[in-house]
Amino acid sequence: MPSPHPSPPMRIAGPALVLAAAVAACQPRTSADAAAHAATIASADRPVAAAASAERLVPARRATGPSFDCAQIVGEDERLICADPELGALDRRLDATYREALDAAGEHRDVLKATQIGWLKGRGDCWKADDKTRCVREAYLTRLVELQIGDGRGVPPTPVEYDCNHDRPVTATFYNGIEPRAAVITWGNDQAIAFAQPAVGGVRYTRTGLEFRAHRGEVTVSFDGVTLACRPAEPAGPS
């Protein structure tokens, strides 16, 4: 479960399932924070410059480690990625997925590039998180889900509505045909992507600050520290 002071769940900004940042952005409060912040923005801008040119491809794809050169790392997020084989593998996978999306984007290429810039800067903000490795990992998983949902292939799943002990409605849209399997959880005006986790009976989706559990018709949603008891909504009768 999240720490006592978790980062907020990753919000989805707009219908295109685009996130401008991996964690909530805030201004540095000290000179040390400012220096670290500048370093992460610099690390984001460097790969962004490469991503912004659709024609620039890495001459030889790396079989291990991340897609970028670890000898030229700048930010704390890149140091974590270079030191962690799982994060390095996620970076390679996202690099390939992003390139495929860019090739298929057509007239929307500039929009896709802009959202990738926002994502990279958001990943850089993980230096502010209590668990930096988890923050970077969730940033990669979120972006992978976004790109696969946004590729326009297949029929979008139907959102499931829930009646909860709260006046704000809850819906969940389950994407089980992608990897990682994920659910888009909406609570009123808040929306976040959560990832499938092992569960003893039923289903469970989580991310920092969010947990969704469903078992035998009983649903529990914990969102930003608020726990809701829910049931699938009854279908509307004929008018």
Tokens of 117: 């810039």
Q: 85-104 and 76-83 helices cross at what angle (nearest 10)?
A: 110
- Domains in the chain: ranges and CATH: 31-149 (no CATH), 160-232 (2.40.128)
SS3 label, residue 45: helix
Tens digit of each residue's pLDDT (9 = 90 or more) over 195-233: 999 998 899 999 999 999 999 989 999 998 999 999 999
CA distance 22 to 46: 18
Instruction: Taking residues 7-25, report their average pLDDT.
Output: 36
| pTM across the whole model | 0.75
pLDDT at 184: 97
Mean pLDDT of 153-168: 89
Among 56-65, 86-95, 157-166, 180-189, the range scoring the smallest mean pLDDT is 56-65
**Confidence bin at 238 (pLDDT 50/70/90):** low
Q: Kindly give the pairing relationship between strand 226-232 and strand 210-215.
A: unpaired
Using a 10 angstrom Cβ sphere, with 0-12 exposed, 13-18 middle and 19 or more buried, the burial of residue 57 is exposed
